[in-house]
Amino acid sequence: MTTDMSHSADPFFEPYDRKNVAYGDEPTAAIAAFLDQVDGGGRAIDLGAGAGRDTVALAAAGFDVTAVDLSGRGLERIHERAKSGGVANRVTTKEADVRDVALAANTYNAIVATTVLDHIPAADAMRVWGQMTEALTDTGMLFVEVHTTEDPGSPEHPGCDSDAPISETAGAVINYFRPNQLASWAVDPKSRLRVLRYEERQEWDYTHGPEHLHGKAILLAVREGFYPDWFGQPAAFPRNAS
């Protein structure tokens, strides 16, 4: 498997080369909610980190983050952003295929895979997922986001029946998750996880290229038996301030 990608072979080169880099500066909303509530620390890995919006937020919260991506241009942007954010000492980049990265068991306090398991074939995604669940520490958090068949880029129903605009980078998504697929992985006893948040939804995206719609599934989970004092999402029933 080659990890040496030329500019022309990298579908994300141009989006990451832009002044207004694709996916913007804000971390994924669910990561932002988690980071608002925890004191960061320990090791994190951002798989398919792109230009690093989640990597930099995790580092700013105190995690030592390894960012893995195939796109050399994305990783350059991560370096730039980490440096200007004063967190370069907490960010390591790795130009590699997530399928080739060995994740040591019980190692990471935060594992993030924001839309990468849908960029690799289903069987590979399942194998990487298995490693991710093993690599989580007993008190860590795991976040996964994937495109679903609701996405108008999907070749399957209902996405393929939609006339909503499609993402400029939809061509890189090859494995649209079916309804409940990510949820079923998470509740499989082999995963040894407790689900804190699972959602399948549609969302409009204005962070890159022309306006477009997405179908997404998101999952936030911890190790089974772990009951953290954070919510991991904006609190639905916050305590009244006294």
Ligand X SMILES: C[S@@+](CC[C@H](N)C(=O)[O-])C[C@H]1O[C@@H](n2cnc3c(N)ncnc32)[C@H](O)[C@@H]1O
Give the footprint of ligand X on this chain (CB under 6 A).
12, 23, 28, 48-50, 53, 68-71, 74, 97-99, 114-116, 119-120, 169
Q: Which of 101, 91, 25, 28 lies closest to 63, judged by CA?
A: 91
Measured from each CB, the residue nearest to ligand X is 50
Strand order in the sheet with 193-205: 91-95, 64-69, 43-47, 108-114, 136-147, 212-223, 193-205
Find the shortest distance in angstroms from Cβ 242 to ligand X. Answer: 38
Residue 226 buriedness (CB in 10 A; 0-12 / 13-18 / 19+):
middle
Rounded Cα–Cα distance for residues 51 and 20 (Å)? 11
Find the shortest distance in angstroms from Cβ 143 to ligand X. Answer: 10
Find the shortest distance in angstroms from Cβ 40 to ligand X. Answer: 18
Q: Which is nearer to ligand X, 101 or 192 (CB)?
A: 101
Query: Can you name the residues that pair with 202 across neighbouring β-strands?
Result: 215
Judge whether 136 and 104 are in contact, CB under 8 Å.
no
Q: Which is nearer to ligand X, 29 or 235 (CB)?
A: 29
Find the shortest distance in angstroms from Cβ 39 to ligand X. Answer: 24
Q: Which is nearer to ligand X, 25 or 228 (CB)?
A: 25
Find the shortest distance in angstroms from Cβ 115 to ligand X. Answer: 4
Q: Which is nearer to ligand X, 36 or 100 (CB)?
A: 100
Rounded Cα–Cα distance for residues 132 and 98 (Å)? 11
Rg (CA), the chain: 17
Q: Which is nearer to ligand X, 77 or 90 (CB)?
A: 77
Residue 222 buriedness (CB in 10 A; 0-12 / 13-18 / 19+):
buried
Q: Which is nearer to ligand X, 125 or 196 (CB)?
A: 125
Find the shortest distance in angstroms from Cβ 123 to ligand X. Answer: 13
Query: Can you name the residues that pair with 77 across neighbouring β-strands?
Result: none
- How many Cβ atoms from other residues are within 10 Å of residue 37's Cβ? 14
